[in-house]
A and B are shown apart, each in its own frame.
Chain A
């Protein structure tokens, strides 16, 4: 037979595997999808049922796999009776829903997505049920929120589906984050995240100072998931989901996860006043409010949604009552509610499917069209109302008995039986309304003439209704043993003796049931007379406070008050905040040290920076009206920076700066053509507010400059801290990295992974630029032929001995020839820079940039068309090649058992040349070269193509794209 490890792993893994397969099937493969999904569910059911002997023995089956051993976390699958029953419920209802969905989904719906999400959701739910580790449980918990989001928003063309999905995700996922925090606190108290160890530490947890925070956080998680007040609002909106999703998520599984967790952790968290008040009152409010509001809903699914709220409230209330018998009733009602509510949802789905509407006001007399479906739905609705001989009656009876039992003698406790009876009356009323208004009365005019659905679509409902009946009539023979298994695993030795008999004699709970039934009928009768659509009760029911809307309204208001759409204001605030943040740490410290040794001033260096500073200031002044001048001046400041790098012993930086400077110049020059003309209007008379703004900006700029100057001066005049990491790199560069150029060794070896990240950023930018420019639409006034070219053409036209375009072709002829000749020279230089990089200034970055410059020079000299007729440039392939090299180098280290990107030195025996020391980082550096080359060329060429694009025939853009790609 299978080992328990295999069984458990299969249980959890099968749905995800199935989901993956489902997503790969063709779009319209409804049958294949249904076979796959149902088959998966059946396999899981089989593997679960193989665990029955162990469950009957009240054992806990565990299997543990190492996950993050350093953090004391393992992946634990753990099944006890309660988890087992819950897993059976998830899988069983899942199977029926998959079958139903085959017939529900229309041929136009892309079903692979649907079934893939459903299966993945089932896997995540099973993950919650079977987790033996709290962190792992939270992980699956968030997964269910995520897949429920995708499922609710399945019809994403529908705005209400999108909104409903978003609200559900916001509420349940933020609840999940609270749960995560709570679980961490709980694990901290218990000393372990392992469920068994946490469950054994109940007394320690309840006595701990952090008990209350942990409780509150975990309860927020559970109550959001189970849609309990005040987090209930997401559930009715989630009804925009396809009906199979509602039947599965919103009756049997997702919303049950919250109460499952409450029951799971009740032995450790329960038994205090906090538990009683928080859980009990949330449950009570939701129970009554849900039942009340359900009476006024006109959409059948909304009736069911509010009724679900109410029933979940009932379960929560039972768990809040904090007694063993109440817990038994809660677990029992979880199972019962899942059966009748899932069948009701599916029934509503059939009605919707067959008639084209779910509006109670429009539906009437459906019994004569859908006799079988109607009968099934009526039985299920009766179970929902708590009619005797059905399963809903049994758990409701147990609930009534619990409300009577005195717990702490408070006023709330005394009122509980009355409130419970009242809410039960409401639920009878809405169930009755559901039955009578939809199935009886005169036949209505409907969008479609209904007929009975295919048998297999009805089969899931039939099966569930039979379960309702059988459990309701002979509970001890059917559900009894299973309930015993579940209860024993939650309550352990304290498990109470309970009796599931249908008839206990004329007891007080029975009387309450009778009152509820009679009162419910009366309520319904009153409501029928009373105009449902306009009466004050209706207005009260409709004016429900939507927390989501309120929150967004407030957010919008605050945004309007504090936010701005204007970039200048935003940047001003940003710079000021940065200024303050930079200034604060200096408060109370001396900026300048006691003694300072200044290095003597070199007049040449001073001169360089006098020019540099003038350039910088002039750039600031010229950038508005004289763009080209500003660009050149900026280059001046860049060159001063470059000289500084050489002067202060950073040859690699100087090289890189110089090359980047060249590339940036070319880039911006290419862009200048598309900017609007702006004439220098001299110093216009600015109004006072403009002047004011300029003064403010000027003072911000001066403050920032002075501040940064002061801080850098303060640092420069201090001694180097003795325990820096520089020595580490200097010492190991040659011995371990095998290179004498420490900067290069750091980049490609010690911090190679960082470099990989950097070049990835470069690639992403290049691709974004490429994508943005493909859709580039220049402003109309930029489209005209540039003035210089117009003058040249006019010259050709005026001189009869010249061909049109000749002057343009001859333009800058001598520099062009030189640039063409430079191509091989620069190329060789790039290779030289690359090869010497490990020991001398150079390396992949600068080599890639020089090669890019070599190519772009040809474009500048001869024009795009000329170049692309002669050489093919494939920047994307270069980038891909670069990544292949970089990753191959990294993974090669993996293969021989070292961490990613570990370098290795080896000696190659080359003919003629002799022995050559080669480091594996050379291959990595080549990857960097290829990526930098590809990305730079891609950006520049994409921009350069804009000029010729508009002049080409419409068929040409594809050729352009080919040339670039």
Chain B
């Protein structure tokens, strides 16, 4: 399990960063989204993996990490997901406005080399 999770984080990161370094605004937007999947999974994985142990307390079960998944990274990631949405929205609108103003979707607002 660990190895799959680690590999998928790696793949998402690589794809995200590759797109982040590209020249079109849409590529950067998608790249950021992929990168945030990776980062969210990474933060989440700091709580180690545990199946079928959601942090929903059941009466009679001791409240410790042996019986429940770590709730702290989950709480962090939950807000991170919502903030990611906000970031995507803002960036999308900025890129649309930039496209309207500069007539191009290049990240620098002009063709490369000029």
Contact = CB atoms under 8 A, between A and B. Distances in A.
Given A726-B72, A742-B57, A779 B103 contact: yes
Most buried by B among A630, A651, A705, A733: A705
B86 A935 contact: yes
Contacts of B93: 671, 768-769, 772-773, 776, 943
B72 A713 contact: no
A674 B99 contact: yes
B37 A637 contact: yes
Contacts of A773: 93, 97
B6 A716 contact: yes
Contacts of A627: 26
Nearest to A606: B4
A667 interface: yes
Interface string B15-34: 11111111110111111011
Interface in A613-654: 613, 616-617, 619-620, 623-624, 627, 630-631, 634, 637-638, 640-641, 644-645, 647-653
Interface string B56-95: 1110000111001111101101110111111111101111
B60 to A, nearest CB: 12
A935 B82 CA distance: 11
Given A575-B20, A676-B104, A650 B34 contact: no
Interface in B46-63: 46-58, 63
A671 B92 contact: yes
B56 A762 contact: no
B86 A765 contact: yes
B57 A734 contact: yes
Contacts of A656: 78, 81-82
B9 A708 contact: yes
A613 B7 contact: yes
Nearest to A579: B17
A599 B72 contact: no
B11 A743 contact: no
Interface string A770-790: 001101111100000000000
A599 B2 contact: yes
A584 to B, nearest CB: 18
Contacts of A761: 83, 86
B19 to A, nearest CB: 5
B100 A674 contact: yes
B30 A605 contact: no
Nearest to A940: B89
A747 interface: yes
A768 B78 contact: no
Nearest to B63: A730
A494 interface: no
A776 B15 CA distance: 31
Nearest to B27: A623
A758 B83 contact: yes
Contacts of A765: 86-87, 89-90
Nearest to B39: A708
A717 B2 contact: yes
Contacts of A727: 63-65
A939 B107 CA distance: 23
B33 A664 contact: yes
A245 B84 CA distance: 49
B6 A709 contact: yes
Nearest to B87: A765
Contacts of B100: 674, 776-779
Contacts of A762: 82-83, 86
Interface string A696-716: 011011101110111111011
A720 B44 contact: no
A716 B89 contact: no
Contacts of A708: 9-10, 13, 38, 42
A709 to B, nearest CB: 3
Contacts of B28: 567
Given A765-B86, A779-B99, A741 B55 contact: yes
B82 A716 contact: no
Given A599-B1, A716-B2, A762-B86, A571 B37 contact: no
A700 B17 CA distance: 8
B39 to A, nearest CB: 8
Most buried by A among B18, B95, B99, B101: B18
A932 interface: yes
Given A568-B107, A598-B2, A731-B63, A623 B19 contact: yes
B41 A644 contact: yes
A910 interface: no
B44 A645 contact: yes
Contact of B33 (A634, A778, A840, A936): A634
A949 to B, nearest CB: 13
Contacts of A649: 50-55, 68-69
A768 B90 contact: yes
Contacts of A644: 5, 8, 41
A726 B26 CA distance: 39
B103 to A, nearest CB: 5
Contacts of A806: none
A648 B37 contact: no
A671 B72 contact: no
A296 interface: no
A678 B22 CA distance: 15
Given A701-B21, A758-B82, A776-B96, A730 B7 contact: no
Interface in A553-609: 565-568, 571-572, 575, 598-602, 605-606, 609
Contacts of B84: 660
Contacts of B49: 599, 648, 716
Interface in A776-829: 776-779
B75 A751 contact: yes
A527 B100 CA distance: 63
Contacts of A702: 14
Contact of B72 (A647, A725, A777, A840): A725
Interface in A647-701: 647-653, 656-657, 660, 663-664, 667-668, 671, 674-676, 678, 697-698, 700-701
Nearest to B68: A730
A623 B64 contact: no
B55 A743 contact: yes
Most buried by A among B33, B93, B107: B93
Most buried by A among B49, B75, B97: B75
A743 B71 CA distance: 5
Contacts of B99: 674-676, 778-779
A726 B71 contact: yes
B10 to A, nearest CB: 3
A567 B22 CA distance: 10
A776 B51 CA distance: 47
B44 A653 contact: yes
A740 B56 contact: yes
B1 A600 contact: yes
Q: Which 8 A-B pairs have the closest CB atoms?
A: A709-B10, A705-B14, A713-B6, A649-B69, A620-B15, A742-B71, A701-B18, A765-B86
Given A705-B15, A726-B71, 17 more contacts: A617-B15, A634-B34, A648-B5, A649-B50, A667-B88, A676-B105, A701-B13, A708-B9, A726-B47, A740-B56, A740-B58, A742-B55, A742-B71, A773-B93, A932-B82, A935-B86, A936-B85
Interface of A: 565-568, 571-572, 575, 598-602, 605-606, 609, 612-613, 616-617, 619-620, 623-624, 627, 630-631, 634, 637-638, 640-641, 644-645, 647-653, 656-657, 660, 663-664, 667-668, 671, 674-676, 678, 697-698, 700-702, 704-706, 708-713, 715-717, 720, 724-727, 729-731, 733-734, 740-743, 746-747, 751, 754-755, 758, 761-762, 765-766, 768-769, 772-773, 775-779, 839-841, 845, 932, 935-936, 939, 943
20 contacts: A616-B16, A638-B37, A650-B74, A652-B74, A653-B77, A660-B84, A663-B85, A671-B95, A709-B13, A715-B48, A720-B70, A726-B65, A743-B75, A743-B78, A751-B75, A754-B79, A761-B86, A776-B93, A776-B100, A845-B78
